[in-house]
Amino acid sequence: MTTELATETPAWWTRAVVYQIYPRSFADSNGDGIGDLGGIRAKLDHLAELGVDVIWLSPIYRSPQADNGYDISDYEDIDPLFGTLAEFDQLLAEVHERGMKLVMDLVVNHTSDEHPWFVESRSSRDNPKRDWYIWRDPVDAHEPNGWTSAFSGPAWSLDTTTGQYYLHLFAAKQPDLNWQNPEVRGAVFAMMNRWLDRGVDGFRMDVINFIAKTESELVGESVHPSMGAQIHDYLQEMHREVFAGRDTELITVGEMPGVTVEDAALFTGAERNELDMVFQFEHVGLDHSDAGKFDNLPFDLVALKTSLARWQTGLASSGWNSLYFGNHDQPRSVSRFGDDRRYRYESATLLATILHLHRGTPYIYQGDEIGMTNANFESIEQYKDIESLNHFAEVVGAGAEPATVLEQMAFRSRDNARTPVQWTPGPHAGFTTAEPWIHVNSNASTINVQTDRAAGDRSIFDFYRRLIGVRHELPVVALGEFALLEPEHPALYAFTRTLGGDRLLVLGNWSNERLRLPEGLADDPGTRLIGNYPEWHEAVLEPWEARVYRRSERAGAEPVA
């Protein structure tokens, strides 16, 4: 037990589970093939029955959709694709009525190039909004430095009207805002305040560590921006201007590629007034080679355990972890880490058990609660994601074999997580009545919500529901101290969580082979709290079996699930 949490009432989000909705792929209510707010409203009971506490919506603001809404042209309106502000208010009220909270995506490292701020900024060198973005003169008739965009090509584009380059760490249609300008910060904070006044319960902040760029980096030779030192000042200023006085009911999570555990302790330390938690990337980068994310390395369980355990320890006395195995930028977790063919139920539920039993706030990505798999795309025409399409064009243009690149993309592309949620075995998986904007996975007739929820003791949804119930019920799940066991074992994921006299022993067999437990590991383990096999043998774990035991010195510690 950490001193910090022992002396203070733990924040509500230590017991909470967050569910991420990627609105374009969730549910379509108006028959245009694209998910929308009406679709979300129609499915709120699905989420309430699952037991989630918070819904995070990927961006629904007005946007040219160059990056599916992560390119915003109006922060204060809803894109007509998704609905209207009035419908948003209705959705928010219906979420609150069910006792859940709603978190918005906040994308303020960059805007769309169609945002009025950028339209003005690019219009002339002396426009009052010129300095709202990052403009630099050419150096030797080239880009100011060698930074590359996350979506291929240089991170600078030349604007011929004024003869200067502007910075875009993502697509050319996503120019980076200049956070050094206090007017920019003021405008962003005012916008955030208006959303909170409207009733939203917090923000997931897109690549928020990228907002700080130092001048020496901008004109220097570095290959990629590191995190400028002002990031802590910006986040503390944001806290003062936006969250102070109302933060206890809210939740803030900052997406931070490249963040170290030492940085994260600063970002999330309770006394520092920056963020509640961050999304770190270390564990989802372990299977990327130095050549980039599309060059897939074999999965290494020991490396994963080592990495996550470092984060557990690093944020034990100060700070807080967010826990995720998948989201709209990552492959489907059961395809990446599990066996999505022979042991789909077992491996999906094992992944859920391991994740949700770590210390931190777990995030469920839409469809993971029924074990949705990678997309099974075979041709480039099926892909829609700007990152994947640009990558394909770049490397095939440079001579790579298209079939090889498609194979890598079938494993790694972000579109794997963006196919429509499979609700029923019917046409278009019950997602829409029209042609969906992206192909439905060909396995939808067998993998869908309706079939899963009718699967009795093999329902993944029901397993998640019970796991969430355990977190809500037992303080040891939320707050217990974490200790990794058998760190070098290549297939066994084992750890304990301890709070006072309460101890959980979590065991998972991350493999297709039966596994005999190391001598002494599970002596006197207590009662089984939850597991994914109906019957079990104490000394053995079946393929992808996950089991959680509880031993409590307190009277009446009965299994709760």
Closer by beta carbon to ligand NOJ, 59 or else 362: 59
Binding flag, residue 210, ligand NOJ (CB under 6 A) = no
Backbone angles phi, psi at 19, to 5 degrees: -120, 125
Minimum CB separation from ligand NOJ for residue 329, in Å?
A: 5
Among 67, 79, 340, 346, binds ligand NOJ (CB under 6 A): 67
Minimum CB separation from ligand NOJ for residue 65, in Å?
A: 12
| CB < 8 Å & 24+ apart, contacts of 4-13 | 4/270, 4/317, 4/318, 5/479, 8/270, 10/478, 10/479, 11/248, 11/276, 11/320, 12/248, 12/249, 13/53, 13/54, 13/251, 13/276, 13/277, 13/320, 13/361
Question: With contact defined as beta carbons under 8 Å apart, do 299 and 347 qualify?
Answer: no
| 354 vs 538: CA distance, rounded Å | 18
Among 282, 329, 340, 369, binds ligand NOJ (CB under 6 A): 329
| 57 vs 68: CA distance, rounded Å | 13
Structure tokens at 330: 């990552």
DSSP label at residue 485: E
Q: Which helix (H) or strand (E) holds 470?
A: helix 460-473
Closer by beta carbon to ligand NOJ, 79 or else 255: 255
Binding flag, residue 207, ligand NOJ (CB under 6 A) = yes
Q: Reduced to 3 states, what is the DSSP secondary structure of residue 8?
A: coil
HEC string of 54-78 equals EEEECCCEECCCCCCCCCCCEEEEE
Minimum CB separation from ligand NOJ for residue 70, in Å?
A: 3
Minimum CB separation from ligand NOJ for residue 558, in Å?
A: 41
Catalogue the E-assigned strands of 217-287. Answer: 251-255, 277-279
Closer by beta carbon to ligand NOJ, 69 or else 420: 69
Burial of 262 (0-12, 13-18, 19+ CB in 10 A): exposed
Minimum CB separation from ligand NOJ for residue 107, in Å?
A: 5
Binding flag, residue 170, ligand NOJ (CB under 6 A) = yes
Number of residues that bind ligand NOJ (CB under 6 A): 9
Q: Looking only at residues 97 through 116 of this chain, which bind ligand NOJ when binding is defined by CB under 6 A?
A: 107
Q: Looking only at residues 516 through 555 of this chain, which bind ligand NOJ when binding is defined by CB under 6 A?
A: none
Q: Looking only at residues 238 through 277 of this chain, which bind ligand NOJ when binding is defined by CB under 6 A?
A: 255
Using CB positions, name the residue nearest to ligand NOJ: 70
Closer by beta carbon to ligand NOJ, 365 or else 510: 365
Among 70, 311, 343, 463, binds ligand NOJ (CB under 6 A): 70
Closer by beta carbon to ligand NOJ, 255 or else 368: 255
Closer by beta carbon to ligand NOJ, 43 or else 173: 173
Closest CA to 308 of 300, 318, 317: 300
Catalytically active residues, by annotation = 206, 255
Measured CA distances, 508 to 155, 482, 492, 513 (Å): 43, 15, 6, 12
Minimum CB separation from ligand NOJ for residue 463, in Å?
A: 27
For binding to ligand NOJ (CB under 6 A), which residues are involved? 67, 70, 107, 170, 206-207, 255, 328-329
